[in-house]
Structure 1
């Protein structure tokens, strides 16, 4: 989605001219950044802390649809989904690199719009853009972001540390990004059938934003440090609550009881799911792209987190022989299964 009427062909600048154009206003804010853009490699110094690195790729037609995704939002989201991985390790995100593959259909103004979102996210989360690459692409727009961060070794949280009796906690609310996606897809189909009909998204701002402009939960990492709670295991929710909880249980060699009635759902998510004849719980379990943090804590930390507004206790960790279970609102116990996002499932149609 690109509305700028001006059009400057990227060929006029060439690769190095494009890089210079996109990076000319970069201001470095991290003390750990010794050298950013402009050499063969960035130079970082974390002063003895452990370095955290994570990479994600976003492909047009697989991870996003430009029919309803503004380029500025896309740039912002590309950074957020990567920072989320660093926060899921209980670390501090400090730098990113951004690589893009673009086709000739994109003028300079479109790329500039994409980078406006990238820079906005970097500025908001105090992260330096220190490098990347550009290439032509025949497969549509490709965005690859590598996030870099750091933490003291004693603070790093892995997926495999959950212990029997630990409380299962989640930040924010779930399922909003998926219901927002269903709404955008519906309006796209209506528009394709009749371009004279304008999208009807009134009153749905929250779930639309959950899909198009997610926010990585750095604030939860800061809150946990403030109240002196170190999770025993943690992961971010990119593929759905069920899938992520099963990752923790598998890597920790434990089981779990997850209570349906405890899963946090925003009223707009609940109502919109019902409009689409979807089960709101399934949206939360399997929808994905919420980028909330799922973590386990010791029972002794219960008093520290029980009144925190943005943290919900949704179950507890059990012995491995008990299995991974979902306890429904009616008290029925089902095996917890993952039906979330699969990157290698071909798109419908």
Structure 2
């Protein structure tokens, strides 16, 4: 990413905290009828009547969760919103509001934060959520971004991680592993650039993988799709830390085991090609990669006919008795215990 060194720079100290908040948040209107009081008071006021409220928070830290040498700030703002909304969709709920909190060092001028908030604004519009508050403070080093997402659902629609039952089918949306390989491509190109800054990368062969890493989308379409198909999942979780890790969460919460079939795991052709280029096993990437923000859920076996022809959904296995454990069945028909090798926020 080539940076324009002649960009205008407005020092944040010129605005002060409240001036900065006013400047960055004046773009946000109110679209949700449940938003009674938005930005500008001690707290947002939301009225959901007889609905259930769902809340989720994520923290993104520079150098741990993102690298600004290849992550544009607008993309970062967009992604920060999406990863939180994915948690709301994983409850089979509809996101309605977010709050945005940010800590930045003095290396970030106002224009950088405007770019970040451009991405936040685009995501809020795309997913029809209101930005209703947050906080800003200074950081000794780098950027820290925290977003809280709030959603709403009828009690009857909510889906938890704990409802999977023996003989249920394991289903995933979309394809898996692409975001992780996008990250590997970006990291490789960063190292090449550090050695030779005049070398401009040709990323045409990796566009899908890079987009999955830099601008993921949350599966807000799945709730309505399943409703139209007359299918209610028995359990659900979003795939943020890797498929194997999420399957294990779901099985432990539901007190069940599972068999996952390697040959059923959906992979994009670009992922397969790039895994060959990097000499990495595509199944290992698909089950351990993380950051796909697809949904993993279980359905009753009687509902299979309703979903079997849908291109958005893939059955990858089934639920078994807890005592049978959690296994991957390989293409060679070997049975391997599932292990969580995905993202661990504390390592």
Length-normalised TM-score, structure 1: 0.98
Cα shift at 1:277: 1.2
Query: Paired residue for 1:63, among 57, 62, 65?
Result: 65
Q: Aligned equivalents of 1:313 and 1:113: distance in 2?
A: 40
Cα shift at 1:221: 1.4
Cα shift at 1:200: 2.3
> What SS does the corresponding residue of 2:204 show, helix, strand or coil?
coil
> What SS does the corresponding residue of 1:204 show, helix, strand or coil?
helix
Instruction: Map 1:139-154 to 2 at 5 A.
Output: 139-154=141-156
Equivalent pair of 1:57/1:143 in contact (CA under 8 Å): yes
Q: Aligned equivalents of 1:198 and 1:138: distance in 2?
A: 32
Q: Aligned equivalents of 1:17 and 1:194: distance in 2?
A: 42
Q: Aligned equivalents of 2:302 and 2:309: distance in 1?
A: 14
Cα shift at 1:344: 1.5
Structure 1 residue runs of 4 or more that deviate by more than 2 Å after TM superposition: 1-4
The aligned residue for residue 50 of structure 2 is 48
> What SS does the corresponding residue of 1:69 show, helix, strand or coil?
coil
Instruction: Map 1:165-176 to 2 at 5 A.
Output: 165-176=167-178
The aligned residue for residue 251 of structure 2 is 249
Check if 1:334 corresponds to 2:306: no
Cα shift at 1:219: 0.4
Cα shift at 1:24: 1.1
The aligned residue for residue 37 of structure 2 is 35
Q: Aligned equivalents of 2:270 and 2:9: distance in 1?
A: 39
Cα shift at 1:139: 2.6
Instruction: Map 1:91-170 to 2 at 5 A.
Output: 91-170=93-172
Equivalent pair of 1:170/1:295 in contact (CA under 8 Å): yes
Instruction: Map 1:175-194 to 2 at 5 A.
Output: 175-194=177-196
The aligned residue for residue 277 of structure 2 is 275
Check if 1:314 corresponds to 2:281: no
> What SS does the corresponding residue of 1:122 show, helix, strand or coil?
helix
Equivalent pair of 1:187/1:200 in contact (CA under 8 Å): no
| CA deviation map 1:135-178 (0-9, x unaligned) | 00013100000000011111100001000000000000000000
Equivalent pair of 1:166/1:317 in contact (CA under 8 Å): yes
Q: Aligned equivalents of 1:274 and 1:57: distance in 2?
A: 34
Q: Aligned equivalents of 2:223 and 2:156: distance in 1?
A: 14
Cα shift at 1:203: 2.5
The aligned residue for residue 212 of structure 1 is 214
Equivalent pair of 1:97/1:129 in contact (CA under 8 Å): yes
The aligned residue for residue 300 of structure 2 is 298
Equivalent pair of 1:171/1:294 in contact (CA under 8 Å): yes
Q: Aligned equivalents of 1:26 and 1:251: distance in 2?
A: 38
Check if 1:87 corresponds to 2:126: no
Q: Aligned equivalents of 1:24 and 1:61: distance in 2?
A: 30
Q: Name stretches of at least 5 consecutive residues in structure 1 with no aligned partner.
A: none
Q: Aligned equivalents of 2:145 and 2:334: distance in 1?
A: 43
> What SS does the corresponding residue of 1:218 show, helix, strand or coil?
coil
Q: Aligned equivalents of 1:278 and 1:36: distance in 2?
A: 48
